[in-house]
Amino acid sequence: MADKILLIGGSANGFGRETESDAASYQMVSALIRRGYEVYFIDDNPYSFTASRDDVHVEVLELTADNLVKVIIANGITSIVATVGGAVATRLALEVQEILGDQGPKIVGLTSAVLSAAQNTKYLQERLQQWHLPAVKTRLASTASEVFDAARELEFPVVVRSIAPQGQALRMQAEDAEELDQVAELALERSLTHQVNVDKSIRGHKEIAMVVMRDLRDTKVLIGGVEDMDPVGIHTADSISITPIQTLSDPVVQTLRETAFKIARGFNVHGLLQVRFAVNPEDDSYVVTRIIPYYDRKVSLIEGATGYPMVPVMTGLMLDERVERVHISSRYAEHTAFLEPTMDHIAVRFPVFTFGELELGGIETNRRLDTIQKSVGASIGVGRSLEAALEKALRAAHFSNRSFSPDLMGELTDSQVIEQLIHPQDNRILLLLEAIRRGYTVDELEELTHIDAYYFYKLERIMKLETEVRQHPWDMEVLKNAKYYGLSDGLIAKLWGSVYDSVRRYRWDNNILPTYKTFEPSAGEFEESVSQFYSTFEVENESERLGQETILIIGTGAFRLGDGASASYVLATMMDEFKRQGYQTVLVNNNPYDLTFIPQLSDKQYFEPLEISDIMNIIEVEQPTRVVVPGNRIKLINSLKATGLDVQVIPREKYLESTLTEHKDQLLYNYFYDGNELHPIVVSHQTNRQIKIEEDEQSHLAQAITPEMPFDEVGLYQFVCEAYDETSNVMQGRMRPMPFTHVAFLDKVSQHDWLRMLVRYMLNTPTEADITLLESLPNFEWAYHRATLRYQDGEFKEHLNIQKTLDNGQFAMAATYEVE
C-alpha cells in the first residue's frame, strides 16, 4: 500500500502569503505522486489551485491542530509536509507533534528544533550561541513591565515580537518608552502564549536573505541570496529587493553562506532553509535575524530569478534523497540540482502598495513604512543592469510613466522631503529621485536613509539618462542606450514630445529590437533548454517562435487589493485547460509568486511588464494564433484587436462597485454564457462578510426570467438582483462578469470545473458532456447542502491600521470557505 502523506495548506492568503505556497504545493504533489505516494491535502482556501487537482484527497477543513489530528488518524497518514503552507503550516505541524508525540506521523525534512527556532527567536538565539554564531540580543517577556525591563537592559530602540502569533509575525519598533507603551500590550495580546521577545534594534543595517538546500548526507548548496535596498526597519516585503547580492564583497558573502550552512546542519534540515541576516555596513559584522524553513516569497523570488528547480529538489531532499541523485525534469541539464546557481542577470522585486485605492474608497491611511508589512503585492523586473531591472519592476508595478517625471514630487517643501527621507512612505523611490534632483548629495542621502550609496548612484544614472534622452530627440545611439537601461517606449515618447507608436516604429525601422535571454542557473556555462525568458536590448536573441499554433496568455500581474489570489487561480486553471486541449501556451506575467508561473502550466514563460509595448514585442516573436487577456485591460484589448489578432477576453470587471459596506444581503444569479444563451447555474448571497450558496434555494432558479445579456464574450456572469417581482418572476438589477472570487468559490463547491468548460467554449470545442450539462441547467447535483465563503479582513487593521469597515467585495484579499 502506498505511503500516505499529508500536505498542510496555508489557509487564507493575506499580507504574509500570496500564492507562492500554493504554486509550490501544486508542484510538490506532482513530485510526490511520481514517487508513489498517496497525497492528502488540507486547506480551506477557496482559491487553492492545489485543492483543484483530481489526484489528491482534499480535506476542506479549518486549519487547526485538532482537525489535522482527525485527518491523520482517520486516514492512517504516515508523513506530514509543513514546508508549503507558510508559517501556519509549520506552527500546526509542531502542535500536531506535541499532541501525537512519537505515535504521530513524521514531519518530513524538518526537526522539531527547527520548527521551534522558526517561531521563537529566543530559542533560535540560544542555539546560535551554542554554535558560536551571532544572534540578535533578545529578552523574553510575558508582562508589560518585563517588556520595559528588557528594553532598559538592551537600550532603545528595541523591537517587540509576539511569540506564536495569531497570523503573521509582526515586528514592532519602539524608539522610546512612550512608543513601547503603545506596542507592549498589543504584542502580548497577539501571542497565543502571551509572551513576547524584545530584541535589540538593528535598524539601519542591510537586510540579506540566503536560501540553501541540504540533504541527509550533509551536502549543502547555496541557491541564492537576496539583498534589500531598504535597511532593517522597513519590512522586507515592503522593501525593494535585489538578487544577486549587489553591495557585499566576496568574503562577506562567503561568511553568510557558511553561516546558513552551519544552521541547516545544526538543525539537521533535509531540504530547504532560508536564513535572514542583518549586516552592519560599518564593519561587516552581522547577526542572524530569522530562519524560515518553508517555501516563502523570498524562496519563490530566487526560484524565478535563477531558474533553479526549487520544488522538485526540496521534495526529493525532504524524502531523504541525495542532491546528486534527486529527480528533476528532463528539461534541465543533468547536474542542475547540484550546481550552485550563478546569475548573468539582475532581478528586482518591487512592492506594490494600494494606499491610493483605499483613499479613493474613502478610507484614511497612513503611508509611512515601518516594520509592519504594508504592501499587498509585488512585481519582478529582470534585466542585465540594475537600472533596467528597476525600471521594469517599476513599470510592472503599474506605475505610470509619470513615475520618473520631475513634476510629480515637485510640490513637496524641503522639510517635507527631509521628513520623508527619514520616515519613508510607499512612494519613496520617487522621493529619492526628487531629493537627487534637488541636489542632495549621495552622502547626505545615505546618512538620512541608510540606503547604500550604490543605489543612489544608480538612481542618479537613471535621471541622467532621462535628461540625455530629452536633450537628444530621435538620436539613435541615445535611444539604444535608453532601451538597454529599461526606459519604455512610452516614457521616451513623452520625453520627446511624441507618441508611443511613433517611437516604436522608429525603433523598429532602425532595428533596435529586444533580445530575449533565458533564465538558467549556469550563466551560459552549460547548454540548458529552459523555457523562461526576459528581455534586454543586446546582440543575441535566444527566444525563437515556439510553434505554429500557440496561445499567448497575459497574466494579471502584481496583486493589489481584492481578487489577486482568485485571479491567479482563474488564469492558472484556464492555462492548464488550454494545454490539455492541445495548444502550446506562452505566458507573460511579472508577479514572481503567481500560480501561472508553475512550470507545467505553460510551454514558455516571459517575465515582463504588461504594458502594451512589452506585449507587442513578445507577439512579434511568438506570432500567436490567439491572445487571452483579462477583461479589465480595455486599452490593451483594443490595441490587440486593432492589429487583427484573435483576442480572447476573460470577462472581468475593472472595478466592482462599492456596495457592500451596509448590512445588506445581495442576491446574485450566476450564469454561464456560451456565446448565444445564458445558462443559470446557481443563486448565491453575498454580504460584507460572506458569500453563501444554499442547495434548498436553487429550485427558485428555474422560475426566474433570464435577464437581458449586455455582454458578447463567452464567460461566467453574475446578475446582481436588486428587486424581484414574485408574480412575474422578473428581476431588476444589473449583469456583470462574475467576480473571480465567486468563480473560484463556485468551481470549488460545485465540484465542477466551470473554468475548464469555459475554455472549451472559447475554443469552440465543447464536449458532449458540456452540452448536456448546459441543457440540463439549472438542474444540478449539488454535493453540499450549504457552502460558505468568509472574507478575512482582520489583517487590514493590523497592517494598514484601518479601523473603518471595508467593502470586502472590493478589497478583501483573503477568504476561507466551508461546506456542509
Partner 1 sequence: MTKRYLILEDGSIYEGEAFGAPATTFGEIFFHTAMTGYQEIMTNPIYHNQIVVFTVPIIGAAGINHRADEAIGPMVKGVVVREIAEVSTNRLQTMTVHEFLLRHNVPGISQIDTRALTRHLRETGSQKASIVDFPDDHAFDQLRALVLTNQEVQQTSTPRAYVNPGDGANVVVLDFGLKNGILRMLNDYDANVTVLPYNATLDEVLNLDPDGIVLSSGPGDPHAVPESILELIRTLQKQLPLFGIGLGHELFALANGVDVEVMPIEHHGMNHPIRELITNRIMYATQAQGYEISTSSIKGTDVFVTHVDLTDGSIQGLRHRNYPAFSVQFFPDTAPGPVEAVEPFDDFMDMVTVRRGG
**Residue numbers at the binding site for partner 1 (CB under 8 A):** 217-222, 244-251, 253-255, 257-258, 261, 281-282, 323-324, 335, 338-346, 384-386, 446, 452-454, 457, 461, 515, 517, 522-527, 538-540
Angle (CA) 629 740 30, round 5°? 85
Q: Sheet containing 106-107: which strands, arranged edge to edge? A: 57-59, 38-42, 4-8, 79-81, 106-107
CA–CA separation, 267 and 126 (whole Å) = 13
- The grid coordinates listed for 237 are 516585503
CA–CA separation, 142 and 505 (whole Å) = 66
CA-based end-to-end distance of the chain: 31
* Cβ closest to partner 1, residue 107 vs residue 212: 212
* Cβ closest to partner 1, residue 485 vs residue 578: 485
- Write the DSSP symbol of residue 10: -
* Cβ closest to partner 1, residue 220 vs residue 742: 220
* Cβ closest to partner 1, residue 13 vs residue 532: 532
Task: Give least dist CB 607 to partner 1, A.
Answer: 16
Asked if 445 and 456 touch (Cβ cutoff 8 Å), the reply is: yes
Asked if 327 and 312 touch (Cβ cutoff 8 Å), the reply is: yes
Task: Give least dist CB 422 to partner 1, A.
Answer: 20
CA–CA separation, 487 and 524 (whole Å) = 26
Phi and psi angles of residue 594, each rounded to the nearest 5 degrees, phi first? -75, 145
Task: Give least dist CB 174 to partner 1, A.
Answer: 29
* Cβ closest to partner 1, residue 35 vs residue 265: 265
* Cβ closest to partner 1, residue 249 vs residue 676: 249
**Does the N-terminal peptide bond of residue 778 adopt cis geometry, omega within 30 degrees of 0?**
yes
Task: Give least dist CB 524 to partner 1, A.
Answer: 4
Task: Give least dist CB 202 to partner 1, A.
Answer: 18
CA–CA separation, 729 and 258 (whole Å) = 72
130-134's contacts with Cβ under 8 Å and 24+ in sequence apart are 130/266, 131/262, 131/263, 131/266, 133/259, 133/262, 133/263, 133/288, 134/285, 134/286, 134/287, 134/288
CA–CA separation, 549 and 536 (whole Å) = 26
* Cβ closest to partner 1, residue 325 vs residue 331: 325
b/e per residue 339-361 (b: at least 16 CB within 10 A) = bbbebebbbbbbbbbbbebbeeb
CA–CA separation, 704 and 681 (whole Å) = 12
Task: Give least dist CB 480 to partner 1, A.
Answer: 10
* Cβ closest to partner 1, residue 280 vs residue 405: 280
Task: Give least dist CB 28 to partner 1, A.
Answer: 24
* Cβ closest to partner 1, residue 73 vs residue 523: 523
Give whole-number Cα distances, 770 to 310, 342, 753, 756, 777, in Å: 38, 48, 10, 10, 11
Task: Give least dist CB 323 to partner 1, A.
Answer: 7
Task: Give least dist CB 381 to partner 1, A.
Answer: 14
Task: Give least dist CB 179 to partner 1, A.
Answer: 31
Q: In sequence order, what DSSP letters do the residues of 403-462 get, joined into one string? A: GG-TTSSTTS-HHHHHHHHHS-BTTHHHHHHHHHHTT--HHHHHHHH---HHHHHHHHHH
**509, 393, 382, 565: CA torsion to nearest 10:** -120
The residues with which 792 forms a beta bridge, in sequence order, are: 814
Task: Give least dist CB 322 to partner 1, A.
Answer: 9
Asked if 29 and 62 touch (Cβ cutoff 8 Å), the reply is: no
Q: Percentage helix, strand, coil, to 5, in the chain?
A: 40, 20, 40
* Cβ closest to partner 1, residue 540 vs residue 820: 540
Asked if 796 and 802 touch (Cβ cutoff 8 Å), the reply is: yes
Task: Give least dist CB 517 to partner 1, A.
Answer: 6
* Cβ closest to partner 1, residue 312 vs residue 809: 312
Task: Give least dist CB 511 to partner 1, A.
Answer: 14
CA–CA separation, 328 and 569 (whole Å) = 25
Task: Give least dist CB 186 to partner 1, A.
Answer: 38
* Cβ closest to partner 1, residue 473 vs residue 524: 524
- CB count in 10 Å sphere of residue 255: 16
* Cβ closest to partner 1, residue 101 vs residue 251: 251
Task: Give least dist CB 459 to partner 1, A.
Answer: 12
* Cβ closest to partner 1, residue 482 vs residue 640: 482
Helix (H, G, I), strand (E, B) or coil at 38: strand
Task: Give least dist CB 105 to partner 1, A.
Answer: 30
* Cβ closest to partner 1, residue 49 vs residue 537: 537
* Cβ closest to partner 1, residue 143 vs residue 481: 481
Quote the radius of gyration of the chain (alpha carbons, Å).
26
Q: In sequence order, what DSSP letters do the residues of 749-783 get, joined into one string? A: HHTS-HHHHHHHHHTT---HHHHHHHHHTT----S
CA–CA separation, 817 and 538 (whole Å) = 49
Q: Which of 414, 37, 374, 371 is nearest to 171 (CA)?
A: 371
Residue 216 Rama label (left phi>0; alpha psi -120 to 50; beta): alpha
